[in-house]
Structure 1
Amino acid sequence: MTTQVTVPPPQWLVDMTSTSTALTKPKANIVDPPGFTTLQSKQKSSKTAAAPARKQPTPEEMDTLKLKKAWELAIAPAKQLPMNAIGMYMTGNSLQIFSIMMVFMLFKGPITAMFSIQSTFQRLETDSNRGQMLLVKAAFVGCNFLALALGIWKVNGMGLLPTTRSDWLAWEAARDPLERAYYVPS
């Protein structure tokens, strides 16, 4: 006959599975780490000190906040220009589907943004900041025109503008042929 010897589980397993209250209570000599609060201290602090209510901003403060947000929206197209310029440079000047789609998206974004300028700034415009919003809208249109200018530069580089030479902005000199071919009828 064989006798089975039961090996007791390791102490760490007993500690992990134990539901004794001695383990759940923090030891008196161990300090809580910074920022740690127990459930009991949270309940005590919520009863003693209620959080103060947030003060509602005045209309002048709201107008200032709305104007700051409007300027962020107006300058956003200019923040995208470096990324778009690098993308246009990386696609090259050949006529490929990728470069054509990049140019299409470069034109589509500013054009749709300028057509929806009123709806873009409608929620930020009030009677008191209407005069300042005209300058914001003008900056928005100007930044979108810069993006369109980048698209025109790219289309010119691809040779798609109907100009006689590719140097319509005088970026390169006129090209002279190296030799001429003549047709002589026989």
Structure 2
Amino acid sequence: MTDLKPVADPSPRWVTDLTNPPPHKSKPASIPDPPGYSSQAVSGPSKKKDASRPPPREPPSPEQMDQLKLKKAWEVALAPAKNLPMTLIMMYMSGNSLQIFSIMMVFMAFKNPIMGLLSTNQAFERFETDSNRGSILQVKAAYVLMQVLALAVGVWKINSMGLLP
């Protein structure tokens, strides 16, 4: 009969390391835990997970919610202004001749602000409450101003292309 040798485990070493992790090394006392991490809260089968949970956060007050909504509304209102530098660069780089690329750029320069102006109320209806209606009106005015500024970039482009009389 032939001698049968024990067959080595065919799985790679990393699989064995995952199934049998090395023992936990204790950290030196001179190194503090990073913020938000506690070495006592290391999850394990015998540790309680409920003891390491922070207390639940209390819901924000209506005044705080209005402030947060107003802050997000300002972000929405100023978004068209953040797109203006890129639009200006694209308009400049497309040239002044009548080509399909420059015509498409001019079309987009008019389409986006007009669509933004038509959907002004829909853009801000999720932020508007009875208590912040006056502040949202100011934000809407800033949004309309930014859209008109974006339209002015389109008018500048068609003027530079020689399409305005």
**What's the TM-score, normalizing by structure 2?**
0.78
**In 2, distance between residues paired with 1:74 and 1:107?**
18
1:66 to 56, 59, 69: 69
**In 1, distance between residues paired with 2:134 and 2:14?**
68
Q: Which residue matches 1:24? A: 20
**1:46, CA displacement in angstroms?**
1.1
1:85 to 81, 85, 88: 88
1:120 to 123, 133, 155: 123
**In 2, distance between residues paired with 1:62 and 1:130?**
14
Deviates more, 1:46-55 or 1:143-152: 46-55
Q: How many residues align?
A: 153
CA contact (8 A) 2:43 2:49 kept: no
**In 2, distance between residues paired with 1:123 and 1:104?**
29
1:83-127 deviation digits (Å, cap 9, x = unpaired)? 000000000000001110011011000001111111110010111
How well do the aligned residues superpose, as a CA RMSD in angstroms?
3.1
Q: Which residue matches 1:40? A: 44
- Segments of 5+ residues of structure 1 without an aligned counterpart are 163-186
Q: Which residue matches 1:130? A: 133
The structure-2 alpha-carbon separation of the partners of 1:25 and 1:72, relative to structure 1 and needing over 3 Å to count, comes to closer
The structure 1 segments of at least 4 consecutive aligned residues displaced by more than 3 Å after TM superposition are 3-10, 12-19, 34-39
Q: Which residue matches 1:51? A: 54
Residue 154 in structure 1 maps to residue 157 in structure 2: yes
CA contact (8 A) 2:158 2:164 kept: yes
- Segments of 5+ residues of structure 2 without an aligned counterpart are 28-32
**What's the TM-score, normalizing by structure 1?**
0.70
